[in-house]
Every structure is written in structure tokens, then in C-alpha cells.
Structure 1
Amino acid sequence: MDPWTMHIAEVGVFDANAAALDVQTVDLMEAAGQALASETARIAESLEGAEHREIWVLCGPGNNGGDGFAASIAIKEMGHPVRIIATHVIQKGEAAEHHRNRCRDAGIKIDVWPLVSEESKPRMIVDSLLGSGTYGGKPRGDVAAVMQWINPHLDIVPVVACDIPTGFDSDLMISATSTVTFHSEKMGMRFEDGSIHPAIGRLCVAPLPWPKEVLDCGPGDALRYPPLDLDARKGDRGRLLVIGGGPYHGAPILSGDAAARCGCDLVHIAMPKDARNRVEWPPHLIPESIPDEVTLTMSSVEHLIGRILSGRGVQAIVIGPGLGRGEETIRAVVRLLYIAAEGGIPVVVDADAIAGLPKGSWPDKLRGIVTPHSREAEEWIGPEIA
């Protein structure tokens, strides 16, 4: 699997997809711990003196803490003295608690905050307090207390961070000498010029024992969508306008079905009359009549602008499925994309509507995404980039 720069939220998506494929979290934790231990040992063996001092592993309550417990076993097996400072009495997940019990069985010292010894000093620190699930949030409670307690040591000894430094991108953060992140780099670890954020230190990307199918659409991808609010009323989850159809009528209906199944409240489908009349309309989709009869042209643009901007308007647009690529149709697409951009309405530009995008670039102000297949991508941005 070729890695890419992941959004932090994708970590949870892939974890859930892996679980659905019967990949055990305990095994992923073991692999993460081994990678974390290897980098820790590499740095420890480069240090001069104080071999008797312990490597302190800071473990939070979640899976990041579980990685730290798994790493502690490996660090001990590599011949280094280890001490664990845990923020909580037990771990939140079974896999993390399993590795915590392994540490206990191996005789590794586990201090639970606030009952920690003040007598010794660390040789180095492993930060497994909080992981990617807390990115951008300021640490609180016992985790924040441990961070403040450990702070006097941070400028004196090396720190290895597990996945991301705790508190990364907040005003309470542990800066790392080295960060071991998993599968691929995460957004925010580099600046726009490609340089690594100073809080990351040396960046190490460690693979995880995932099958390639983890990257396919699976149950975990449901986490990408906002959860349903049990107290929501009709209209609270937005109104979508799908603009498509003409030569074909099935693709706009499939797009509307997908939106409705994901929780969108009101889904309007705008198609020319001929396509609209070929549809057996399901009750959860709303036909949006437009003046055009065969294909979308500029004749329907003013009507659609009214639908987009009047009253409660729409909160998102899908444009392109089954639309066709006639010259008048593409002119209408260009105009509608401009209106969406000016109105700040997010758009999914799909299928034939991709031909309405400027060659090799994205329209000014337009919020949204484009969903090309390989040929459409080549036509838009060129074969070298696609």
C-alpha cells in the first residue's frame, strides 16, 4: 500500500475497517509498540552515561497508551530499564488492557498518577499519552496533570512520541525529539514548504500489518459522516440539490439515494423533463422541475439559482451525474459553479460536470471536491499529474 498524507480522522476509519476484516487491535498495538521501541532503543543506545536510569513511558487511557504498554515490553526485552507512568487505573479498551497486564506480568514498574515516585530521573521519555483522536484539542484532567509534572524533564532528555505528540497543535503540548507515526504521515506534521513541524522532531513512518483491503470502503467509512442527532427535526440535516440527468437518468437517482441513506434530510433531483419522466420516483427523493426537456441548458439556470438561493436554499450541491457534455450543458455547469462559489455552497463536481472546470485548476472561491475516474482526471489536469 502506497502511503499518503492522512487526515487525522482517517486513523479511526482504517482501525474500524481493519476490525471488520478480523484484524485484531491487539496485534496492531503489538506492531506499533515494536516500532516505538525500536526508535526508543536507537536513541537510548546513542546516549552517553546514565545507563542505570529508566526509560519512562507515559501511558494515557486509550489505544495510544496501549501502544506504550506494548512498547514497554519490547524496550525491556532490548535490555533497557523501563518505568511506566499511567494516567488511569485501567485502560478504556480490551487490547490496551491486555498489553497493560502483560507489563504487570513481566514485572515492569507501573506508577499510577498521582502516586508517582519523585526520587529518580529518566534517561529518556516515551510519550504515549494521547493519540490522533485528540488532535488539536488541549489535554485535560490527569493527562494534563502528568504533562505539567513531567515538564521539567522535557528540555533535558530525549522524547519519543507515539503517532503524534500529545497536545499537538494546542497550547499544551509535549515537543518530541522523534515521532513514530503509523502507516503514513498525518496532515499538519509538515508546513506548506515541506519542512517538518519542530514539535515532531525526527519523523519515522512505521507500517502496520493491515491488508490492502483496509483502504477500500468499509464500515469504518461511516465515521467520516456526522452522527445522527436523536433530537433532530426535519430540515436540521440539510437540503441537497442533485443536478444531473438528460441522456441518462439512473446516476442522479443513485446519488440522491446515497445522500438520503447517509442522513441528508431533503434531497431534490433536478433533471430535464424527458429524463425525469423515465424515473420511477422513490418517496424519499423530491423531483425538481426545470424548463429544459432533453438536456440541461442555460434556460434552466435561473430556475436553479432560485432553488439554490431562495428561502432555506440548499446546503450542498451534486452536479454532473448522467448530465452529458453538450456545449450548452457545460456552459450551464460553469455558471452554476460560479453561483455556488459566490454563495459559499459546497459542491461535489462529478462525471460530465468535470468538463466545466477550468483546465488544470480549481475555480476561485469554490468549496468542494471533484470525483473523476482516470480518464476524466487526465482530461482535467493532464496525464502527468493524474
Structure 2
Amino acid sequence: MFTGSEVLTTAQMRAMEAKAIASGRVTGLELMERAGAAVVAAMIRKWPEYQDHPSGHPHRAIVLCGPGNNGGDGFVVARLLAEKGWEVRVKLLGGADRLPPDARANHDRWRAMGSVNPIMPDVGECYQAEVLVDALFGIGLTRPLASNLRGVFDGIHEAVHNMLSGPRGLGVDHVVAVDVPSGLCAESGRLLAEDDLTVWGADLTVTFDSLKPGHLLADGPDLCREVVVADIGLPGSPEGPRVRRLVRGEITKHGGHKYDHGHALILAGSSGHGGAARLSARAALRVGTGLVTICPRQSALSDHVRPPDALMLRPVDTARDLGALLEDKRISALCLGPGCGVERADGLLDALLGSGCAAVLDADALTALSRRQDPFASLPKNCVLTPHMGEFARLFPDLAERLKATPTQGPAYSKLDAARDAAARCGVAVLLKGPDTVIAAPEGRARIHSAFDIPWLATAGAGDVLAGIITGLLARGFEPLDAASLGALIHAQAARLFGPGLIADDLPDLIPAVLRASQKSQSSSSVATALPMT
């Protein structure tokens, strides 16, 4: 589980490094040395048995170095492991004369200790070691891995999956990636490989200063697995502390009347279809909204005469009814879509659009919106759209196609790019759902929320609960980006608390435990997954 912190693109990371070097505070060689040392330290923390050496049997490592500075990090790793008594083999892709200056310097330092053998791109090899260090490409990969690397990659894949691995077996126990596993686009989490080239991933991925989008998006979590963010002495982010404070306790109420904490409307549908709206309403209550009113058709009122009794009821049959209700300026947010029905949602949209009220548009409301000739006209600025990928494709078909297309170069078009482009186009915040949820604001701010560790959250009604949490936070006065980000975090942590077997009905009643935990935590590690992107 990732902590709340800043996520940097490759360009931002390189700019930070260049600024630090230009200031004279650190040299490129010093940063490379720190990076290599961080990789070795992370390896030994994860596998403490590598601290000591079996009698007469030194630990064995293979370090694969690429043609850029990632390869330079690999040479440092090789040297430091050898100094600890490891038996190390180093292989280089490309010629030493083509290495960047700092990488070449570390190549030469290693050559004073051991040999460097070439990686023959079109030749397979049997790998035999406890640890294979992947320092081939890292975050610098911008074009698909060539198919002539198939022999190299197939050999590594075979070694990783060989049951006779270990210090004397024909295979490797563990793969450690420097920055990202080779073949993974650090910007998008998508694979950059020709044809069906096998990419093996890593048991441990060590990156520097901050996470990159590719660690959190698409195939990234599956291939990176455990990610360690190592501090190599670069300047910190001003955004990170603000997000951690938000996680710790700013959602706590501080006195006041119930109306001081917002009044949310949840628009429900016809008789027999009220379950989704009730899930949203219960979630809005639990997240601290002062009042929550559920608004079904008049004919469906009796469906909602049941607990929780704190839910208020008000019939809404037409857009005129909703418009009259929204004249009460104490109503601070509404949710339209869950279980509402597409036709009903379409009929109520005009009243909402004319009111300027903060709103979450979800499910049927998104489908209704996508059918309009000008779907984004007059959307309230304090609105949040919460599509899954199918709904996103209906609203933004061209962006969905770009996201679906096989990347031909890096950085590949990512889910982060798609959410940002969508938010800019429609002028409101967009939460693009999935295990890698991305929340983006129209001006470009964005946050990534990783929930790959909770597959049981993929259950009917879970999205309705998320819509209700966000609506409640909007009603309480949170800005759309913060409401959606914090809502995604609370939603996921409630699912983590319950564990496998979760159904959506369980989620609202777990929200108070999440809020209590966030108040007690002095770091965001127990509840963090919402990450800013500037």
C-alpha cells in the first residue's frame, strides 16, 4: 500500500536532478552512488538472509546493465554487492564507449573489480543466481523493446520460473528492478514491447525520490509488485505534506449546526430500483453530512420507509419538482445517477444544470449525459463525473480509443493523460474508476489512487457507495478534486478493513472506523493511496 506522497513524471524527476546538480549541492556521480546503495539496502531489508553468507557459498547476483544511467546504477549495485562478498556477474547491453559519462565512470570502477560481458540481444542464456538485478532501461525507455531481445527476455523469464533456482540451481530466486522493470513505460504503466515479448516484472522495485505514474497505473502494480521509494537527497515536494494533513484529520467536524455540515440530495428511481440510491445516501450520512435526503418518485416513497431513520424523504417526480427543491440554498450537493434510470436522469439533468449546485454525476446520469448533443454545456463547475471505462468511452470516445491503442513509442498515452484531457474538455473534475483510479481537475491537477490490493472491491453497488461518499464531502464544502480523492481513499480503506467477502452494503458502516483511524494516525501509511500529481 502506498503512502500519500507526490508522484513525478520522468521529465519532472530529471528536472529535479538537473537542478540539484546545477546548484552544486550534489554531483551526478554522487546521485548514482546513492541510488545503487539504496537498491542494495532495500534488497537486504526485504531478504535479511542476504546479510550473511553461508559457509563456503557466497551469495550470487547477476546485474544486467543498460546503455543509459540506469545501467550506471547497476554498476554501482554490482560493486557494492561484491564489496559485501557476493559473487557478481555483470552483463552490458551495448558498448561501454556509448555510456553517458557518469555511467561510464561507474563501469570503469566496476571493471577494476570484475569483468563485463556483453548481452547478445538475439541469443538466449541460462541465468543462475539468487538475485537478478534489472538495470537495463528504467524510466528512460521511450520506444518499444525490439523483438531481437526475445532471447534475452525469454531466458530471464525461464530462469525466474525455474523450480531449481537458488545459488546452485538453474534459475534465479528474486528479480530486483531499478526504477521500473524493463519494458514498462514509467509514465503510463503500459508495456512498450514489440509483438508478444515476455516481460517478467520484479519481486522488488526500487525507485528514487518519488513514485512515477507507471508504478500505479495499468500493468505497473502487477509488474512492479513491491515498490520502495528511496531518498537520495533531492529536494522534497511542497505538495506532499498538505495531502498528508488532509488524510489525517481535516474531515473531522468542529461543532456547529447540522446545516453547517451540508445537506445532500440523493435522487432515486422508480419502485423496486432504490437500492443503489440508498447505498449512496447511507454513505453520505456516514461521511459526516449534516442532512441527507433521498428523493425517489412519489410512487416509490414506500420503498424507503425503513432504517436508517436519519435519512429524510422527499418525493421528486419532475425536473420542476427538483428545481423547486433546489431553491433552498441550504442544499449544498446532490447525487444523480445510481439506480435512477437513464430516462429519469435525463429528465432531471436540466434542473440540475441550471441550479449551479455541486453534484456527483454517476451511472445512469453519465449515460444520459453522453446522449446529449452538447453533453458538457452548463455543467456546474463544482461537479464531479465518476465514469468507469465503459461510461468514459461513451462520453469521450476519442480519448478512450487513444488509451486502447497499442503504444508505438513512449511516453505512452496513459489513464492519467486521459483523465486530465477529459477534465479539461468538460470543465469539471473527472474520477476515472478502476483499480488504478485517476482523479483530475480541469486545470491539470491530478491524483492517482491505487487499489490493486483489494480486488474484492469489484462488487455490485461499490460505485454507488463511492458516489455517496463524494457527494457527502462536496456537501460539506470540499473542493471537487479533494472530495473525489479523499472519497476514493475512504472507500478503499473501508474495503481493506472488511477484507474478502465484502458486499457493498458493508461499506457505509465501516466509514466511521476509517475516519477514526485517520485521526489517530500520525502518518498516512494506514489509509494512504490518494496521490497528487502536479
Q: 1:57 to 1:372 in 2, by over 3 A?
A: closer
Tell me the residue number matched to 1:18. Answer: 20
1:164-191 superposed Cα distances (whole Å, 9 cap, x missing partner): 0111232531311111111122223236
Does 2:176 correspond to 1:160? yes
- Helix, strand or coil at the partner of 1:199: helix
- Cα distance change of structure 1 residues 69 and 342 upon mapping to structure 2, 3 Å threshold: farther
Q: Does 1:207 align with 2:231?
A: yes
Gaps of 5+ in 2: 166-171, 185-189, 192-196, 240-355, 357-368, 388-394, 396-421, 425-440, 446-476, 487-534
Q: How does 1:175-254 map to 2 (within 5 A)?
A: 175-190=201-216, 197-212=221-236
**1:327-366 residue pairs with structure 2 within 5 A?**
357-359=381-383, 361=384, 366=422
2:128 alignment partner, one of 118, 121, 127: 121
Residue 74 of structure 1 and its aligned partner are, at CA, apart by: 1.4
Q: Verify: 1:29 aligned to 2:17, yes or no.
A: no
CA offset digits 1:8-63 (Å, max 9, x no partner): 44333333333443442222111110011122344565269693452000000011
Matching residue within 90, 101, 109 for 1:102: 109
| Match of residue 86 from structure 2 | 80
- Alignment-mate amino acid for residue 90 of structure 2: I
Counterpart of 2:198 in structure 1 is 172
Given the two structures, how large is their TM-score scaled by the length of structure 1?
Answer: 0.53
**Which whole-Å deviations, capped at 9, do the CAs of 1:230-252 have from their partners, x for residues lacking one?**
xxxxxxxxxxxxxxxxxxxxxxx
Q: In structure 2, the residue corresponding to 1:123 is in which secondary structure?
A: strand
Q: Whole-Å Cα distance in 2 between the matches of residues 108 and 143 of structure 1?
A: 25
Deviation at 1:124, TM superposition (A): 1.6
Aligned to 2:266: none
Mapped partners of 2:375, 2:75: distance in 1 = 47
Partner of 1:71: 77
The percentage of aligned residue pairs carrying the same residue is: 24
Q: In 2, distance between residues paired with 1:173 and 1:97?
A: 27
User: Any idea what the Cα deviations from partners look like across 1:217-241, whole Å, max 9, x if unmatched?
Assistant: xxxxxxxxxxxxxxxxxxxxxxxxx
Return closer, same or farther for 1:363/1:46 CA change in 2, 3 Å cut-off: closer
The residue type paired with residue 183 of structure 1 is D
The alpha-carbon distance between structure 1 residues 146 and 180, as it changes in their structure 2 partners (threshold 3 A), is same
Distance 1:42 1:19 in 2: 29
Q: How many equivalent residue pairs? A: 255
Q: Distance in 2 between matches of 1:149 and 1:133?
A: 23
Deviation at 1:86, TM superposition (A): 0.7
Question: 1:62 touches 1:130 (CA, 8 Å); kept in 2?
Answer: yes
CA contact (8 A) 1:34 1:70 kept: yes
Query: d(CA) in 1 for partners of 2:63 and 2:20?
Result: 27
Is the partner of 1:167 in helix, strand or coil?
Answer: coil
- Identify, as 1 or 2, the structure richer in helix: 2
Q: Structure 1 residues 43, 108: closer, same or farther in 2, change over 3 A?
A: farther
Query: Within 2, Cα distance between the matches of 1:43 and 1:371?
Result: 40
CA distance in 1, matches of 2:148, 2:238: 34
**Does residue 139 of the first structure (1) align with residue 141 of the second (2)?**
no
Instruction: Say whether the 8 Å CA contact 1:87–1:142 is kept in structure 2.
Output: no
What displacement does 1:207 show? Answer: 1.2
Match of 1:39 in 2: 42
Deviation for aligned residue 1:129: 0.5
Measure how far apart 1:99 and its partner are.
0.8
Q: Which of these residues, 77, 100, 104, is aligned with residue 93 of structure 1? A: 100
Decide whether the 8 Å contact of 1:21 with 1:214 is kept in 2.
Answer: no
Moved more, 89-98 or 26-35: 89-98
Please state how far the C-alpha of 1:65 moved relative to its aligned partner: 0.6
Is the 8 Å Cα contact of residues 164 and 179 (structure 1) preserved in structure 2? yes
From the superposition, tell whether residues 196 and 59 of structure 1 become closer, same or farther in structure 2 (CA, over 3 Å).
closer
Structure 1 match to 2:66: 60
The question of whether the paired residues in 2 share the 8 Å contact of 1:88 and 1:113 is answered with yes
Please tell me whether the aligned partners of residues 181 and 206 of structure 1 are also in contact (alpha carbons under 8 angstroms): yes
Q: What do residues 151-209 of structure 1 show as CA deviations (whole Å, max 9, x unaligned)?
A: 321224211110101112325313111111111222232369xx982321222111121
1:82 to partner: Cα distance: 1.1
Shift in Å at residue 77 of structure 1? 1.9
Identify the range of structure 1 (114-123 vs 199-208) with the bigger mean alpha-carbon deviation.
114-123
- What amino acid maps onto 1:175 in structure 2? G
Query: How far did residue 92 of structure 1 move?
Result: 2.9
1:112 maps to which residue? 118
Tell me, yes or no, if the aligned pair for 1:37 and 1:72 is still in contact at 8 Å: no
CA deviation profile, 1:260-304 (whole Å, cap 9, x unmatched) = xxxxxxxxxxxxxxxxxxxxxxxxxxxxxxxxxxxxxxxxxxxxx
How far does residue 139 in structure 1 lie from its aligned partner after superposition? 1.5
Distance in 2 between the 1:119 and 1:358 partners? 58
Shift of 1:108: 2.0
Structure 1 range deviating more: 29-38 or 72-81: 72-81
Deviation (angstroms), 1:138: 3.1
Query: Does the CA contact (< 8 Å) of 1:36 and 1:71 recur in 2?
Result: yes
